[in-house]
Amino acid sequence: MKYYSTRDTSLRYDAAEAIQMGLSRDGGLLTPMEIPQIDERFLREMMTLSYQERTARVMGFYLTDYTQEELLGFAENAYGPDKYDTAAVAPVRTVDAKTHSLELWHGPTSAFKDMALQMLPQLLSAALRKTGEEKTACILVATSGDTGKGALEGFADVPQTKIMVFYPKDGVSAIQELQMVTQDGANVGVCSVVGNFDDAQSGVKRIFSDLKIREILAERGYFLSSANSINWGRILPQVVYYISAYCDLVRDGRLEMGAKVNFCVPTGNFGDILAAYYAKRMGLPVNMLICASNSNNVLTDFLRTGVYDRNRPFHTTMSPSMDILISSNMERLIFDLSGGNDAEVRGYMKSLSEEGRYEVSDAIKAALAAEYWGGCCGEEDCAATMAAYWKNHHYLIDPHTAVAVNVMEQYRAATGDETVTVFVSTASPYKFGDSVLEAIGEQPVENSLERLEQMHAVTGVAVPRRLAALRGKERRFHQVCEKLEMEETVLEFLK
C-alpha cells in the first residue's frame, strides 16, 4: 500500500515513510492510495478476537511494510493492562436499545487520544529502523489539551525521539495542564503559548515549513515530525475502534450482522470522525456520520452550506479539545470526495490560508450531505445534557461527550432516523471535573486535585488511577512564550 499527498499525487511513499514524515513537504496530508475492503466474514472473524488482535488485523491492511507480528506486539504494548483499565480497551456501554456509548478514555491519560498516541510512537520508532534514518525525530505538537499529554505519555523516553508540546496558555483545563507540566521523561519539553489553539497550531505549521529551521536542525542531527492528527499513524489506530464497536454490538446480540449504525462524534480537528469515514469506506455498515461541534461551529456551517469560513469569533468552551476553527483533517475528506483531485484541493487550501475561507464544488457538497450531518451545542445545552444523563441514566459524561449526545438528540429530532446510534465518549468526566460537578448541581472545590475526591464522593464513580497519582507530582515545566517566539523555543530545546 502506497501513500500520497492530498496536494500532490505524483509522489509515492511507503507507510513507514508517511508516518516518519508526518506532513507532506508540500503542506498536504499523506493519505492511502486505496481503501481496503472488509466483508461480513471478516467482521465475524473479528468478533472472536481481542482488541489487540483486531488492531493488528485492521492496521495490517494499510501498513503493508510492517509485519503482523510487529503490529500485534505494538498493540499489546499500547493497549495492555498496565496502560488500560479494562481488557475490552474500547468498551461499548449500552444506554438504551438504540443508543450506545463507545468509551475511549480507559487509557493512561483518560482521553481518547491515547488510542492513537500509545500506538504512534511505536509505529514511528519502527519506521526509523525500516527507512535507515539515523537522525533523531523531534515531535512538535500543538495541543488543545488532550493530545499534548497523550503524546508526552506515548513518546516519553522512546529512543531516537524528542518531543516538544505547545498548549494555549489559558485554553486547557487545570487537570490537563497539571498532567502536562508534571510529565516525566528525559526527552520531553512543554511550553504554553500566549494565544489560542489555532495560534499554537499555526506556529507549529510555520516551523514545519521553515526550510532554514529544518537545515539548522539537520546539522544538529534532528528532523521534525508530527504527532498531531495530520499524521496517518494517528488516524489509522482510530479506524480500529469503529470496526471493533460494531463487532461487539453484534457479538453481544445488540445489533444484527449487516444492520447499519450511525456514529456521532464530538469533533475538533476532524481526525476521529475521519477515521469513522474510513471504516465506512472499508465496508463497515454505517448509515450517517454525525459531526458534533461546540459553539466553535465552523464544521456545522460547512456541512450545511459547503462554505468553510474560519473568519468568526473564537469561543473558549468547557470542551476545549474541540475549540478549533481550522480542522486540518477536513483536507483528507475533501481529497477523497473530489476523487483524489490534488489541484482542486490545492485551490481550496490556498483560499483557506489566504482568505480564511473556501467553498467546495457542488459535487462535493452533495457527497458531504450524503455522508454527514452536522450540528452544534452551546454551553448551557452541554451542561443540561450532562445533568440529564446523570439523572436519567446514572451515567456521568464529560463535556465533549455531552456535546455529542446533545447533537445526536438534535439529529434524531430533525430527521426521525431510528438507526442504532453509537456516540463516541472521548474523555473521562474526571478530566473536566469543575464543569461536570457544576452541571450536576454541585459546587466544585477550588483545588483540581481535591475536586477528584469530591467528584468521587458525590458520584461514586472510580477516579482513574493515573489522575489520582497526580497528587504529589512536582511541576517540571514553567515556560511561557509569545506565538512568534515558538521558533526560538524549539531551537533552544534542540540545542
Ligand X SMILES: *Cc1c(COP(=O)(O)O)cnc(C)c1O
Candidate residues 270, 308, 348, 389; the one interacting with ligand X per rule CB under 6 A: 270
Local structure of residue 475 (DSSP, 8 states)? P
Q: What are φ and ψ of residue 194, in 5° steps?
A: -75, 105
Contact assessment for residue 296 and residue 144, using Cβ atoms and an 8 Å cutoff: no
Q: How far is the CB of 298 from ligand X (least distance, A)?
A: 12
- What is d(CA 222, CA 138) in angstroms, rounded to the nearest whole number? 6
Comparing CB distances to ligand X, the nearer of 250 and 334 is 334
Contacts with ligand X, 285-324, as mask; x by CB under 6 A: ------------------------------------xx--
146 binds ligand X (CB under 6 A): yes
Residues contacting 280, CB < 8 A, separation 6+? 286, 289, 371
State which of residues 272, 323, 344, 381 lies at the interface with ligand X (CB under 6 A): 272
d(CA 2, CA 5): 11
Contact between 271 and ligand X per CB under 6 A: yes
CA-closest candidate to residue 404, choices 273, 260, 271, 248: 273
Q: Which stretch binds ligand X (CB under 6 A): 83-91, 187-195, 264-272, 351-359?
A: 264-272
Site for ligand X in 386-405 (CB under 6 A): 400
Closest contact distance (angstroms) between CB of 218 and ligand X is: 30
Minimum CB separation of residue 179 from ligand X in Å reads 12
Count of H-run helices and E-run strands, the chain:
22, 16
Binding status of residue 154 toward ligand X by CB under 6 A: no
Residue 7 binds to ligand X (criterion: CB under 6 A) = no
| Strand partners for 423 | 101, 264
How far is 218 from 262, CA to CA, in rounded Å? 46
Does position 113 interact with ligand X (CB under 6 A)? The reply is: yes
- With binding defined as CB under 6 A, does residue 268 bind ligand X? yes
**C-alpha torsion angle, residues 451, 457, 460, 466 (rounded to 10):** 40
Cα–Cα nearest to 169, from 138, 152, 139, 148: 148
Q: Is residue 428 near ligand X by the rule CB under 6 A?
A: no
> Which range, of 75-83, 108-116, 330-338, 408-416, touches ligand X by CB under 6 A?
108-116
Number of residues that bind ligand X (CB under 6 A): 17
- Looking at the Cβ atoms of 59 and 291, the one nearer to ligand X is 291
CA distance 373 to 106: 28
Closest CA to 425 of 299, 301, 321: 321
Instruction: Decide: is 149 part of the binding site for ligand X (CB under 6 A).
Output: no
Are the CB atoms for 16 and 2 separated by under 8 Å? no
Residue from 426, 435, 448, 489 touching ligand X (CB under 6 A): that is: 426
Site for ligand X in 118-137 (CB under 6 A): none
Q: Is 149 a catalytic residue?
A: no
Of 2, 83, 98, 113, catalytic: 113
Min CB(136)–ligand X separation in Å: 27
Instruction: Select from 52-60, 63-71, 89-97, 109-117 the region that touches ligand X (CB under 6 A).
Output: 109-117
Contacts of residue 136, Cβ cutoff 8 Å, sequence gap at least 6: 160, 161, 162, 221, 222, 223
Smallest gap from Cβ 402 to ligand X, in A, equals 11
Q: List the grid coordinates of 101.
A: 456509548
Q: For residues 221-260, which are near ligand X according to CB under 6 A?
A: 229
- The three cell numbers locating residue 480: 511561557
Q: How far is the CB of 386 from ligand X (least distance, A)?
A: 14
Q: Give least dist CB 300 to ligand X, A.
A: 13
CB atoms within 10 A of CB 339: 10
Q: Out of 110, 179, 183, 267, point to the residue binding ligand X (CB under 6 A).
A: 267
* C-beta neighbour count of 129 within 10 angstroms: 10
In 8-77, which ranges are E strands? 8-13, 30-32
> Could you list the residues that contact ligand X (CB under 6 A)?
111-113, 146, 229, 266-272, 321-322, 400, 426-427
Q: Which residues are catalytic?
A: 113
